[in-house]
Each structure stands twice: as C-alpha cells, then as structure tokens.
Amino acid sequence: MQSLQPEPAARYRNVPEALWRIVRTEGLWRPMRGMNVMATGAGPAHALYFACYEKLKKTLTDAIQAGGNSHVANGAAGCVATLLHDAAMNPAEVVKQRMQMYNSPFQRVTDCVRTIWRNEGAGAFYRSYTTQLTMNIPFQAIHFMTYEILQEQLNPRRQYNPGSHVISGACAGAVAATATTPLDVCKTLLNTQEPLALNSNIKRHITGMANAFRTVYQVGGVTAYFRGVQARVIYQMPSTAIAWSVYEFFKYILTKRQEERRARK
C-alpha cells in the first residue's frame, strides 16, 4: 500500500481489499513472498538487538538513576541497539520489498540478490540504511519508552506477566508505527526504486532521505507520507506483542535458572 504510483491492478483502498485482491489475482501464497529472507535476517538481528538493549539499559540506568527506571536510559539503549539490528536487517528488507512489489520479476531470493548486485552494486542493499536508521531510531525510542511506561502501570512489580507484556508491546508498536510512517514510506521508495516514481525524478536512482522526501511530495503530496499507515499499525501491533512476550518469557526462564543455580551453591 506504500507504493506511490502503483499500476491500476495494484491500487488498493484499504487493507482488507488489498489482501483480497492480492490473493485473488496473484495467488494464495503471494502475501508470504520474502518471508524466508526476513526469517534468515531476523534471528541474528534480534539477538544483537535485545542483548545490546539489556546491557545498555542497565549501564545507563545505573549511571542516571541507580536502582530506578530511567526512561531516558530506555530510549537511548533502544536507539543504540537499532544500529546493530538495522545493519543486519537492511539487506533482507531490500530483497523482501523487491519481491513483494506487484508483478515482481523475482521468483526466488537468490535471483533477486544476484540482479540487484549485478545492476546496482552492493551499495543498493544499504541505500536506505540512513533512512532506516532515521526512521527506526525514533521508532525504537518511542517504542521502548512507551513499553516501559505501560509496564510501570500494568506490571509495577516487574514480574513475568504474559498479559501485560502482550498489551504493552502491542500498544507501544502501534504508537511508534503511526509516528514514523512518513519515514517508512521514504524507506520503501528507496528500497524499491519504483519506475513510475523515478519518472518524476531527474536522477537515475532515488538516493538519500532528502531526495526520497521530495519525490514522495512531488508524486502524492502530504497525504502520500501516510500511505499504508493502517497496514503498518496492523503489522506492528502483533509483531511487537509477540517479540516482547517471547523475549520476556525467555528472560524469565533464564533468570529463574540462574537463581536456582545460585541457590544450590
């Protein structure tokens, strides 16, 4: 839905219509295109992400507000963790979005990777990296701060509570997704290099956030910055809810095992 100038067959008014038309015209499994490359990148990316977040959150909280919960520390830790996460995920995101475009010529991940490398060079996999960071740093700052604030209200004792983790994660994802949709639209344009959008751009490729912002405005005006906001929120809410609930579960299990080992000693 973030495509700026889609072909007539790929123009959707809302999320349900988009899903129905994609399945009807392109097949049942079309919405799953790119899942394998995202799964490959997500493992190491999230491992780096949460490990960095936990370590920095503790270090910064001890320095800013020892024994307490500092929202500044939470936000800063989330921002730094994003640098590592996006470095691992950006190439996967590029390939996924190229494969998901309407009438994409790519059937396999390897074909997509080879074509991008041959025609645009290795830099194409990181063309949107700065924009991704510009989007994800505020996204993660808002995300982590909102999650921690909600946890203070719903789970003040900070015990393992699946319900509070799911609700806090979903709400945090929705707030952060809405606030950063304009940056996500620009990132999508940089990743996909839409041919019709390129016609309105004097350069061969759309490069850099400033160029992407100008192109989005030229093609669709202010409203174009919020294309796909519904789909983005619907995607982020379960995504962040699942991520936080799984993370908190394993954190609880590992912490419990450590305490049991200490008790035995």
Closest residue by Cα to residue 83 from 139, 137, 141: 137
Mean pLDDT (whole number) for 136-152: 89
Per-residue confidence at 25, pLDDT binned at 50, 70, 90?
confident
Per-residue confidence at 138, pLDDT binned at 50, 70, 90?
confident
* 183 vs 253 pLDDT, higher one: 253
Mean pLDDT (whole number) for 43-49: 84
**pLDDT tens-digit series, residues 220-237:** 888 888 888 888 899 899
CA distance 207 to 45: 25
Closest residue by Cα to residue 151 from 136, 166, 173: 166
What residues have CB less than 8 Å from 157, skipping those under 6 apart?
none
CA distance 129 to 135: 10
- In this structure, the number of other CB atoms found within 10 A of the CB of residue 57 comes to 22
CA distance 53 to 252: 16
Please identify which residue in the block is written with the tokens 């510009």. Answer: 134
Virtual CA dihedral for 42, 183, 100, 247, nearest 10 degrees? Answer: 20
Closest residue by Cα to residue 128 from 166, 180, 183, 203: 183
What residues have CB less than 8 Å from 185, skipping those under 6 apart?
2, 4, 216, 224, 225, 226, 227, 228
Output the pLDDT for position 165: 96
* 227 vs 14 pLDDT, higher one: 227
Closest residue by Cα to residue 2 from 176, 171, 180: 180
Output the pLDDT for position 228: 83
Task: Tell me: pLDDT of 163 over 60.
Answer: yes
Per-residue confidence at 154, pLDDT binned at 50, 70, 90?
very high
Output the pLDDT for position 198: 57
CA distance 41 to 93: 9
CA distance 240 to 230: 16
Please identify which residue in the block is written with the tokens 């800013």. Answer: 64
Mean pLDDT (whole number) for 243-247: 91
Of 10-14, 90-94, 171-175, which has the strongest mean pLDDT? 171-175
Per-residue confidence at 48, pLDDT binned at 50, 70, 90?
confident
Task: Tell me: pLDDT of 19 over 70.
Answer: yes
pTM of the predicted protein model: 0.65
Domain edges within the chain? 41-126, 156-264
Using a 10 angstrom Cβ sphere, with 0-12 exposed, 13-18 middle and 19 or more buried, the burial of residue 176 is: buried
Mean pLDDT (whole number) for 132-155: 88
Task: Tell me: pLDDT of 46 over 80.
Answer: yes
Spatial contact of 221 and 239, defined as CB atoms under 8 Å apart: no
